[in-house]
A and B are shown apart, each in its own frame.
Chain A
Amino acid sequence: DARVTQTPRDKVTEMGQEVTMRCQPILGHNTVFWYRQTMKQGLELLAYFRNRAPLDDSGMPKDRFSAEMPDATLATLKIQPSEPRDSAVYFCASETTSDNEQFFGPGTRLTVL
């Protein structure tokens, strides 16, 4: 049963600390998305990649967020320094160019104190 995996599932950190979230897309999926879910804004796109190349990261605060795909099996989202307003659930999703369905991971719940 192929699934998108995300680590960690929960992260509590203090303001100013670096946070790294990881996502393993489904094998063979070449498009990866990062979304953030908050009560206030709902689900919003942060960035996405196709064949490991970034296509759109306009949803990310550039001064503190960065997203990369070191290889086809790993996507990372990094926040440095973290702020309390970054507290949210971060979802990774993946899909293939031949499908029309994004598969979501379980999310990383981030709490910045």
Chain B
Amino acid sequence: AQSVTQLGSHVSVSEGALVLLRCNYSSSVPPYLFWYVQYPNQGLQLLLKYTSAATLVKGINGFEAEFKKSETSFHLTKPSAHMSDAAEYFCAVRRNSGNTPLVFGKGTRLSVIA
């Protein structure tokens, strides 16, 4: 079975500082990994995804994530935080087969301080 663990339910950074949101996965088969963002009272929007191609994945809004098989990690980073990045971020995994349900982490709430 697949699962993900997000370390830290709340992360606070200063505007312009590095953003690092941690995600570790567990999967018995090669996984597909995703990061989604949720703004208040909205649905989830895909930031980026790993599908066994390049291990460094670039997404929208300046975010990127690196798949590290040896560490079973898929951490999300952004070099410089912006106030508009404040939101809830979810890491998710699914089997390396098409169109199966996502298994989500508990989420990390990112606060950006001016």
A interface residues, Cβ below 8 angstroms from B = 4, 31, 33, 35, 42-45, 48, 50, 56, 91, 93, 95-97, 100-107, 109
Contacts and interface: CB of A to CB of B under 8 A. Distances in A.
Nearest to B51: A100
B14 interface: no
A109 B44 CA distance: 14
Contact of A104 (B32, B45, B99, B106): B45
A33 B104 CA distance: 14
6 contacts: A35-B102, A43-B104, A44-B104, A100-B51, A106-B43, A107-B43
Nearest to B106: A42
Contact of B99 (A4, A31, A107): A31
A100 B42 contact: no
* Majority secondary structure, A binding face: strand
Nearest to A103: B46
Interface string B77-114: 00000000000001000000011011111110000000
B101 A106 contact: no
Given A43-B90, A100-B51, A48 B45 contact: no
Contact of B101 (A56, A101, A103): A56
B106 A91 contact: no
A63 to B, nearest CB: 22
Interface of B: 32, 36, 41-46, 49, 51, 90, 98-99, 101-107
B43 to A, nearest CB: 4
Contacts of A101: 46, 49
Contacts of B90: 43
Contacts of A96: 99
A104 to B, nearest CB: 4
Contact of A97 (B36, B98, B105): B98
B43 A104 contact: yes
A21 B107 CA distance: 25
- Residue of B45, B46, B49 with highest tally of chain A CB at under 10 A: B46
